[in-house]
Amino acid sequence: MLLMLSSINQCCGSRRLVETSGHILESPANYKTSHKCSWLIDSQRNNTPIHLELEEFATECGWDHLFIYDGDSIHSPLVAALSGPVRYDTTDIRHQFTLTSGFAYLYFYSDAAYSLDGFNISYSIGDCRDRNCSGNGICNTEAYQCQCFEGWTGEGCNIPTCPNDCGTSGNCVAGQCICNQGFYGRDCGTEETEGLWEVREESTVFSRASAASVMIADELWLIGGYDFIKESSMPVFKYNFTSGISVHVPVTSESGNLPQPRYGHSAALYEDVIIIYGGSLIDGPVSSELWFFNITSLSWVQKDSSGSKSMEGHTAHMVNGSMLVFFGYNPTYGYVGWVQQYNISSNSWSILDVTGFPVLGSYGHASVYSEDLGQVFVYGGYPFVRIKSFTQDPFYVFDVHQLKWTILPSPGRPRFLHSAVIEGSRIYVFGGNSHTDSNEYRGAKCYTDSFIVYNIDCKEWYEEEVSSGLKEEISSYGHQVAWYNDMMWTFGGYNGVILNSVNTYTPVNCSSVTNETNCELAGNGPTCMWDLSASECLQINLNETIQHNASFLECDPTDSLFNCSTADSCITCIEKQGCGWCDDQCSSSCTNEGCVTPCASQTGCSDCTSSSGCMWCESQNRCIDSQTYMTSFPFGTCLAWVTSQDSCNNIKCSDYHTCELCHEDPACGWCDQGDGTGLGTCMGGSNAGPLNVSAAGSELDFEQCPASDWYFTECPSCQCNGHSICVDGENCSNCSDFTTGEECDSCLLGYHGIPLNGANCSRCECNGHSEYCDQNAVSSKCYCDTKGVLGDQCDRCDELRGYKGNPTINTCFYELLMNFKYTFQLDDTSGENLTKINLYVQPSVQNRDIEFILNVNEPVNFTISYTTTTVEEEQIIVNDTYVDDVYRYRFSRYTYDFRNEVNTTFLFYLSDFTHPFTFRVQVEENPFTIILITFGSLIGFLSCCALALLVVQKLFMWHINREVVQQREVEMAVMASRPFASIFVELVNNAPPDLIPTTKSKPTNAVGVAIEPLKDSKVALTTIIMQLPMQRVKFPLVSPESP
């Protein structure tokens, strides 16, 4: 799509748009991860309509959201929370919005995982939704409404009254398709052998998602559910199937307390009472509450729920006077496969001891109860079950009399937050979130209109097509469903917006099928049969020929349900006899390692992110397990989240110290100090000004900041962070306080700190081993210039690599052993700041001279000194000598005392070299002299010579062997002085926190194939052989790391 450059407004911090039309664009290709940006569309006239239309939209489902508000900030009414492939690939959910406040605020947040193509949103101000009404009408500029030509409808005149011109199976008459015999639907595109979907335009319900509902006579009661509009208590609605009208039921409470709003709860009808259990409280935790609502008195009563557990995403059915609760998510136990029983008469809870197939717990599944069969069918839910590379959707049946689970054939259509309803021998499953993609887009849909039917008698699944020509898109999840008047009805739901639509599905009516061929093809599975004598199509009743309680697929012959491997949380695991938790999995072979505190128990960002696998959502003030993000915030209620403690310092407005950083948070604005230095305060607010935000709402408060100093989308001219004054409205001149940079936002070399908004720079404290440190670090993190000196303040020696000493007093030295050649290669990136290295040697033999040899590849300054126990201070031998090739120095045994008790130590200092630097060094003891004794006689002399030569040969061989052994011992000692520890080789799937791991890797011990102890038996060298996976590429040969 070609767009005018001036009309494109890409994702870049916070932007204010005043053009009358344009496009909001996030990335022409894949957008950035871990990204925030916002746009404020300002009509500059209150109550002027602003129209938005999604031209293209594709983000990561459930994680990357675009929030749209009808106002000037996130404190305004929320209109949409868009996520997933909405208009992308095969998905075409058309969203159009008209905002009436005169402002539109859009905020986009992406996490650290994969990204898709982003979005392209067109907007226009003060006009009809479509300026030319799609060419099918005229725009009334006073009413801002399109007046459509005949044959068109919709706010933008973009919906034909006769879709597809009724095709070849009907005729358009007075703006409506009149279908030929054997065809149905709005566009006459549905054949008589197919069921019919219709949008009930005359019916509406209150916008709800993940509500709970019960059928009573010809009314559907909807309780609670999620809505963008915040409520003070849980609402109750009633929909009348006959009139198509919804009403908000006024309620009371005996105690005066009303239940808090929630979603993901369950409802079950017992006599004249609707029992509400659990759910996720809006802006709160998962609840364990139990409420009774009397449909006669319209009053609430809270029951004692001390025996119940916090639960969301479960289902419930009344069975023989008790309420059975299936599966769900508990913050402590995780996704549970329990069947809980609530005994109404005794107000007591229990977990049933069940048998059969080891089921897996889930959230957002769907279940139906057949009282005739005495069975509860449970299908789908989250998390998805992965077997090898395939994602499965479990389908179970529970016998309420035998308390036994059986697994049934799966349709292979994974989903959660879908709906299911049973009628006769059919189970109808519709919609849901089918997002199964883990690290790249493979076609999974966030909102689906997938419609499947299970034939109980045949034990078969069938896929139904959704009728063509529908006026509105019906893809959704979190909707409610009911069966009434031989039709399946769906209510509300969510597909980026909270829906208030009512849709129906009418199965095939056999009596309407007109011929034998179509009769046999009608419906899903054996549905209709042709009566030859009467020449009509009749409904098949398989109940007369197939017993409903026929045996199902038995996949596990054991009587005990629980299998250790089915537990996905530590606490669930260790509560079962014979199971233990280790390596993040439950197994009968594990011994209990103890369970960490559940994420939901952590009450602050720091505590939350310090716990493994936890993530903190500041906007919800809630800590959750990262593997439950999709189910914890199914409607995008978390505006941003963090997983590291470092990020906890940047989650509140007051944490941001510059105007630019302040504007990255959509809840914040910048109050400038007004003196031209750039000093200011970040605080909560909107485009109108600073706000006082409370549970009751928000109100402007200019006592916090005058209107003249308030900046919501833009920043004042040049921000000097209090270290300079803005000159000519453009530049910060003469930065003070040891700062530098265009905005005086960095420290000078030799200083460190984050000098934002008046903060100071401090001098680097490196104990004399460097003048420089990380300029952007809060505390001094020095770049130590001496090899072997470590620590943020250069205050310790690298003892694991053989360096000894005390750098807070002197420095660190590497010990050289006699008669061994060393090669030092200071060429790794971690040594870029090195300019010094210090060595030392301690002679161990008294009667030999010592020769020191140094060979360098580039110039270096060299100093030699020595110490003994008899000399108080270090004595200089060679001072700051320039060496550029080979340097030799002999230490005479006549000049220096090499006795052990004197402890003579020679110190060698190399300095002023540049990186990379390579040098060789050795310290040798001169060999002793063989003295020959001569005799007076020639014969004696020759004999002595022969004997002497033999002795010399023996001594020479002994000396050679001794040098080899000694050199090997030295080499082993040097290698053994390097770091060593137990080695574990583990291949880790380094996936983002929003991806559910499918397998857990186990550490593997690397076993040595040979071991060689040193002479003192204190340490030994071992050799291991292992092959690591690598690409078929050639790697350059590199030298092993030097000491």
Structure tokens at 433: 């979130």
Q: Is 189 exposed, middle or buried (0-12, 13-18, 19+ CB in 10 A)?
A: buried
pLDDT given for residue 170 in this prediction: 92
Tokens 């139904």 sit on residue: 464
Flag residues of the chain having pLDDT under 50: 1-6, 388-390, 543-562, 928-936, 979-1005, 1030-1043
pLDDT given for residue 587 in this prediction: 81
Report the distance separating Cα 404 and Cα 397, nearest Å. Answer: 8
Structure tokens at 38: 């916002």
Domain boundaries in the chain? 199-544, 567-595, 599-648, 652-716, 789-976
pLDDT given for residue 1033 in this prediction: 37
Nearest to 160 by CA among 169, 168, 151: 151
- Sequence-distant (6+) residues with CB within 8 A of 702 are 689, 690
Q: Of 2.120.10.80, 3.30.420.40, 1.10.287.70, 3.30.750.210, which CATH number belongs to 199-544?
A: 2.120.10.80
Phi-psi region of 802 (alpha: psi -120 to 50; beta: other; left: phi over 0): left
Report the distance separating Cα 54 and Cα 62, nearest Å. Answer: 18
Nearest to 247 by CA among 235, 230, 257: 235
Asked if 620 and 230 count as a contact pair (C-beta separation under 8 A), the reply is no
Phi-psi region of 47 (alpha: psi -120 to 50; beta: other; left: phi over 0): left
DSSP, collapsed to helix, strand or coil, labels residue 69 as: strand
Say if residue 383 is preceded by a cis peptide, omega within 30 of 0. Answer: yes
Helix (H) or strand (E) holding 863: strand 860-867
pLDDT given for residue 985 in this prediction: 45
Instruction: Write out 826-842 in H/E/C secondary structure.
Output: ECCHHHCCCCEEEEEEC
DSSP code of residue 920: E
Going by DSSP bridges, is the β-strand pair 917-925/821-826 parallel, antiparallel, or unpaired? antiparallel
Around Cβ 593, how many Cβ atoms within 10 Å? Answer: 13
pLDDT given for residue 879 in this prediction: 94
Report the distance separating Cα 266 and Cα 274, nearest Å. Answer: 10
Query: CA distances (Å), 174 to each of 150, 153, 700, in order?
Result: 9, 13, 53
pLDDT given for residue 1027 in this prediction: 57
pLDDT given for residue 34 in this prediction: 77
DSSP, collapsed to helix, strand or coil, labels residue 483 as: strand
Report the distance separating Cα 786 and Cα 912, nearest Å. Answer: 10
Does the pTM surpass 0.75? The reply is yes
Torsion of CA 419, 422, 428, 434, to 10 degrees: 30
Around Cβ 640, how many Cβ atoms within 10 Å? Answer: 21
pLDDT given for residue 1009 in this prediction: 56
Nearest to 44 by CA among 16, 63, 66: 16
Query: CA distances (Å), 776 to each of 769, 773, 826, in order?
Result: 19, 9, 26
- Longest CA–CA span in the chain (Å) reads 148
Helix (H) or strand (E) holding 940: helix 938-976
Strand extents, DSSP E, 560-664: 580-582, 585-587, 614-617, 622-625, 641-642
Amino acid at 824: F
Around Cβ 32, how many Cβ atoms within 10 Å? Answer: 13
